[in-house]
Amino acid sequence: MARCKPCAFLLGLPFALLSLILSLIGGILWFFWGIVSCMCPCCVCCAGIANFAMFLIKLPVKITHWFIKQIPC
């Protein structure tokens, strides 16, 4: 970040908090499907669900960065 954009951070904060909840759900999915894939390693769908769970875990950071980029103040 070249310069500080507090307006963008404050406007993106509610969306980041919402995505934090999704991130927690993603963490639970990742843990559950990690255990399932250990029991059945041939299951291809487990890898897809685990990748989706990792996407959900990274979502709050992505949303915050997107808001910071969008607002020029």
Q: For position 41, what pLDDT does the model report?
A: 64
Q: For position 54, what pLDDT does the model report?
A: 81
**What is the rounded distance in angstroms from the CA atom of residue 33 to the CA atom of residue 14?**
29
Q: Read off the pLDDT of residues 18-66 as tens digits, 9 standing for 90 and up.
A: 877 888 887 887 788 777 777 776 666 667 777 787 887 888 788 778 8
Q: Read off the pLDDT of residues 19-28 as tens digits, 9 standing for 90 and up.
A: 778 888 878 8
- Residues 68, 8 contacting (CB under 8 angstroms): yes
- Residues 31, 1 contacting (CB under 8 angstroms): no
- Residues 68, 9 contacting (CB under 8 angstroms): yes
Instruction: Identify which of 33, 26, 34 has the alpha carbon closest to the alpha carbon of residue 59.
Output: 26
pTM for this predicted structure = 0.59
